[in-house]
């Protein structure tokens, strides 16, 4: 199943986020505004701006399941991201990434293991999934892997072709 076939609403609209991203390479990241890793927003935005002309997009997926670190409303999240980090990449509605209420997107993503062999539940905010132009999950990266990590960037470049 293609990630692009999964329906997920935008943070500030009912539009399906992935409907406009088919045939692009996408980095899906579960995000939070009050986390020690929140400064990764800067690197994600830089990556998005640099590579968007080549067919790349970051997609942020707000989640409040880890220490209640994304408690805000859609408006509060949008304002926080734009004001503090200049975020222009697409953001989805706030969803659960683990448990019985896990969004179908994460049912698909979490089947992929990272380089340490971890598959299954999301461990923390800012876990990253690289999705190819065909909607297949290509790689999974730990929350501790920064957006400017050489291995992450190499995988994105390879997927862009």
Among 25, 29, 35, 130, the active-site one is 35
Tell me which residue has tokens 């992450």. 152
Phi-psi region of 68 (alpha: psi -120 to 50; beta: other; left: phi over 0): left
What is the C-alpha to C-alpha distance for residues 12 and 144, in angstroms, rounded to an integer? 28
CA distances from 49 to 46, 87, 101, 121, 152 (A): 5, 10, 32, 29, 16
CA distances from 149 to 102, 134, 140, 141, 159 (A): 28, 24, 13, 10, 16
What is the C-alpha to C-alpha distance for residues 2 and 136, in angstroms, rounded to an integer? 6
Q: Is 35 a catalytic residue?
A: yes
Residues that are catalytic: 35
């Amino acid at each position: 199943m293609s990630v692009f076939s999964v329906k997920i609403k935008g943070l500030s609209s009912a539009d399906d986020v992935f409907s406009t991203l088919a045939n692009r390479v996408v980095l899906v990241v579960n995000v939070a505004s009050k986390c020690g890793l929140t400064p990764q927003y800067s690197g994600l935005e830089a990556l998005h701006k640099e590579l968007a002309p080549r067919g790349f997009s970051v997609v942020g997926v707000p989640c409040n399941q880890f220490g209640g670190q994304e408690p805000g409303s859609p408006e509060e999240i949008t304002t926080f991201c734009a004001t503090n980090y200049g975020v222009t990449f697409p953001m989805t509605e706030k969803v659960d990434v683990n448990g019985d209420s896990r969004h179908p997107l994460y049912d698909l993503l979490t089947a992929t293991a990272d380089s340490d062999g971890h598959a299954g539940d999301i461990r923390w905010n800012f876990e990253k999934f690289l999705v190819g132009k065909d909607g297949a999950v290509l790689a999974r990266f730990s929350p501790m892997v920064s957006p400017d990590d050489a291995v992450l960037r190499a995988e994105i470049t390879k997927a862009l072709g």
